[in-house]
Amino acid sequence: MLSSHSKPSNADLERAQFWPLFSQSRIPMALVDRDRLYVEINDAVVDMYKVQRSDTLGTRAGRTAIGDPAEGDAQWDQLVRTNALYGERLISFGAQEQMRVSYAAHTTMVNEHWLALFVTLSARLEPNGAELIGTPRMDSANGHASRLTDREREVVSRVALGATTRQIAADLHLSPDTIRSHVRNSMAKIGAHTRAQLVALVLADGLIER
């Protein structure tokens, strides 16, 4: 019987295929259990949202959202029903500020524990703040998820860690144009529209490892 309503242990998480990228990435990511409680957040969440890990784990996801709570409930129900969600919410941030956040969420299983992996796609302080994520939107052809090539997985792994195109090119001794081509091809195969969305999909589906 699947343990969908119990919390995975730290050892379970550390054995998960996506864990090295989740824990090291500069893209904010969070794991939420079936009861809608935070199981883990990465350092990028701590840095960007100015929260303490100890104060966040075990609390209800979406508690800082501004507006009708029914909207968050409907989004959560959609995630549980379809195993995927792309949403946007206005949240309270700091003492007085507000932040508009868009995100991707996909479900995964970790040692028979149901988890939702949330990846922040974009975040902007209201009303006229600068983009805090910096993952540019890229056009992508519609496609079906398929296995990435070894080179594409290598590139996407570095994207998941938050590396820039130039950093990846230097690491792999390739041109920036070649790296952008690999990212576009990966996005087309997976059906992603942003780099952060690509990361959410490939981590949740176990298409890359490190």
pLDDT tens digit sequence for 16-35: 877 887 888 888 999 999 99
What is the predicted pLDDT for the residue at 206? 56
pTM assigned to the model: 0.71
**Tokens for 9?**
């242990």
Give mean pLDDT, residues 99-104.
88
DSSP 65: B
Residue 179 CA to residue 175 CA, distance in Å, equals 7
**Tokens for 53?**
């890990």
pLDDT at position 209 over 70: no
Give mean pLDDT, residues 145-174.
84
Give mean pLDDT, residues 170-187.
93
DSSP 33: E
pLDDT band at 197 (very low <50, low <70, confident <90, very high): confident
pLDDT band at 129 (very low <50, low <70, confident <90, very high): confident
Tokens 């946007």, residue? 88
pLDDT at position 55 over 50: yes
Domain 10-125 of CATH type 1.10.580.10: no
Give mean pLDDT, residues 109-115.
89
pLDDT band at 61 (very low <50, low <70, confident <90, very high): very high
**What are the sequence ranges of the domains in the chain?**
10-125, 150-205
pLDDT at position 134 over 90: no
CATH hierarchy code of domain 150-205? 1.10.10.10
What is the predicted pLDDT for the residue at 145? 41
DSSP 99: E
Order of strands across the sheet that contains 38-41: 38-41, 29-33, 113-125, 97-110, 84-93
pLDDT band at 204 (very low <50, low <70, confident <90, very high): low
What is the predicted pLDDT for the residue at 8? 87
Tens of pLDDT, residue by residue over 68-97, are: 889 889 999 999 998 888 888 999 887 778
Determine contact, residues 119/28, Cβ cutoff 8 Å.
yes
Average pLDDT, the chain: 82
DSSP 8: P
pLDDT band at 177 (very low <50, low <70, confident <90, very high): very high
DSSP codes, 59-114: SBTTTTB-S-HHHHHHHHHHHHHHSEEEEEEEEEETTTEEEEEEEEEEEEEETTEE
pLDDT band at 161 (very low <50, low <70, confident <90, very high): confident
